[in-house]
Structure 1
Amino acid sequence: MKIGFIGLGNMGSAMAANLLSAGHEVLAYNRSRDRVVALAERGATPVPTVAAACEGDVVFTMLADDTAVESVTFGDTGIVAALAPGAIHVSASTISVALSEKLTAAHAEAGQMFVSAPVFGRPEAAAAAKLFVVAAGPHDAVTSLQPAFEAIGQRTYVMSEEPKTANLVKLSGNFLIASVIESLGEAMALVSKAGVDRQTYLELLTSTLFAAPAYQTYGGLLARKQFEPAGFAAHLGLKDVRLVLAAGEQLEVPLPVASLIRDRFLTLLAGGGRDLDWSALGALADWEAGGPRPGSG
């Protein structure tokens, strides 16, 4: 399969590399050229523009937010203008439900197909091709993409023929992860101030009540206070919680815990934690109980 790949950050670089390893031809585009050079050494074809990345049957975007996705999709040199009729734009980015609806309509008008396929997993899972893909879009398009999804992930969950459904599911999952980080951080601050070893406490939790990847991964980061380098930056966590709240407002679903998490992220960013890993959210409770500010050592 000839696949354009736009967005070679920590996640995108690993995903594109795994597509190459699976035998797909990859046309690589990124604003920062060093990422393209690194991928070219593994067999990718560097391309100078977004339009050049759209010369295949499929183009993936893996970008930070709505603004970044819109900037490469619309306009005279964007994906919609460059992609051939019948070709597929796959957005693996965590974007708003509203933008997913806009992308679906724009590609349909241009005779193209749009599939949302955000992923669950941190950069280390992306590198190991162990992501979980949440896909939604036209049945034939999603079916044709299975070889690509199998190259980047360990399992694909097809949610709906409406792309926006995948985005809503992804946002709801990120909200749950943030909730776990906050509550786990509060519990860890409580017991550690009483003298309980953080790592021992985590081992108890993850061996009994909470033997789940979210508790294991983020509990480990909290226990070690390992917030740099960021696998997923705190300001992106805030972005996702805001998108969850926007979806809740549109659907008239109150999300009081999400409102609390948004304010906790704002506290973290106001204290200088913008570029820390979003697991630093859980360290706020320790800071407020007299411990060090997240990221200060």
Structure 2
Amino acid sequence: MHIGFIGLGNMGSGMAANLLTAGHEVTAYNRTAAKVDALAAKGAHPARTVADACRADVVMTMLADDEAVQAVSFGEHGIVASLRPDAVHVSSSTISVALAERLTAAHRDAGQRFVSAPVFGRPEAAAAAKLFVVAAGDSQVVGDLAPVFEAIGQRTFVVGTEPRSANLVKVSGNFLIASVIESLGEAMALVAKGGVDAGDYLELLTSTLFDAPVYRTYGGLVARRDFEPAGFSATGGLKDVRLALEAGEALRVPLPVASLLRDRFLTLLATGGGHLDWSAIGALSAWEAGGASPTT
């Protein structure tokens, strides 16, 4: 399959490389040309414009936020204007439910197809093709995309025929991850100040009731204070919590924990930690209890 890939950041570079490894033809675009050149060395075709990347059967976007996705999707030379009829735009970015609805309508009006397929997993999972893909869209189109999803992930979950459903699931999942990070950080700060080694405590947790990847991965980052380089930044974490709050407001679902998490991320950003991994909010409680700041 010929795939245009837009966005070669921490996640996108690994995803695009795995599409090449699986035998797909990839035409890649990124604002930073050096990242395109690096993928071209592995066999990709370089695209110098968004429109160049849209001469494919499928165009995938993996970008930071709503603003970035809108910038490449709309306008005279954007995806909607450049993609041929019946071609497919697959958005793997974590975007708002509202933007997913707007993209669905725009592509439908242009005679194109749109599928939301955000992913769960950090950059190391993207590089290893071990992501979990959450897909939603027309059933036939999603089925035809199975070889694409198999190339980037270990399992695909289809959650509906409306693309927005996948974005709602992704936003809710990131909200849950942030909740785990915050609660783990509070519990670890409590036992550490009482003289219990944080690493030993984490080993107990993950060997008993909390044997799950999210506890092992993020608990390890907090225990080691391993916040740089960021796999996913605190700035991005704040963005995703805001997306959850936005979705909750639209659906009239109160999310009091999300409101708390927004303030925790704001605290981290206000003290210079926006560039840190989002797991750094798990170090705020220890700092507030007299320990070191996450930024030191």
TM-score scaled to structure 1, two decimals? 0.99
After TM superposition, the structure 1 = structure 2 runs for residues 257-296 of structure 1, keeping only pairs within 5 Å, are 257-296=257-296
- Which position in structure 1 is the counterpart of 2:104? 104
Q: CA deviation at 1:209?
A: 1.0
1:160 positional shift? 0.4
RMSD: 0.4
SS of aligned partner of 2:11: helix
Give the residue type in structure 2 aligned to 1:153.
Answer: G
The residue matched to 1:160 in structure 2 has which SS? coil
Q: CA deviation at 1:179?
A: 0.2
Aligned residues: 296
Q: Is the 8 A contact 2:50 2:78 kept in 1?
A: yes
2-structure distance, mates of 1:200, 1:270:
31
Q: What's the offset of the Cα at 1:195?
A: 1.1
- List aligned pairs for 1:129-278, cutoff 5 A: 129-278=129-278
Aligned partners of 1:113 and 1:121: how far apart in 2? 25
Q: Unpaired segments of 5 or more residues in structure 2? A: none
Q: In structure 2, what residue type is equivalent to 1:40?
A: A
CA distance in 1, matches of 2:207, 2:156: 27
Aligned to 1:18: 18
Which consecutive residues of structure 1, in runs of 5 or more, have no partner in the other structure? Answer: none
The residue matched to 1:157 in structure 2 has which SS? Answer: strand
CA distance in 1, matches of 2:139, 2:219: 38
- Given that 2:271 and 2:295 are in contact with CA atoms closer than 8 Å, whether structure 1 keeps it comes out as no
Report how far residue 140 of structure 1 moved: 1.2
Q: Aligned partners of 1:33, 1:140: CA distance in 2, in Å?
A: 35
Distance (Å, rounded) in 1 between the aligned partners of 2:286 and 2:207: 23
Question: Aligned residue for 1:32?
Answer: 32
1:67-86 superposed matches below 5 A? 67-86=67-86
Runs of 4+ in structure 1 deviating by more than 3 angstroms, as ranges, are none
Which residue number corresponds to residue 54 of structure 2? 54
- Identical-residue share of aligned pairs (%): 74
> 1:47, 1:6 → 2: CA distance?
9
1:118 maps to 2:118 = yes
Q: Helix, strand or coil for the counterpart of 1:60?
A: strand
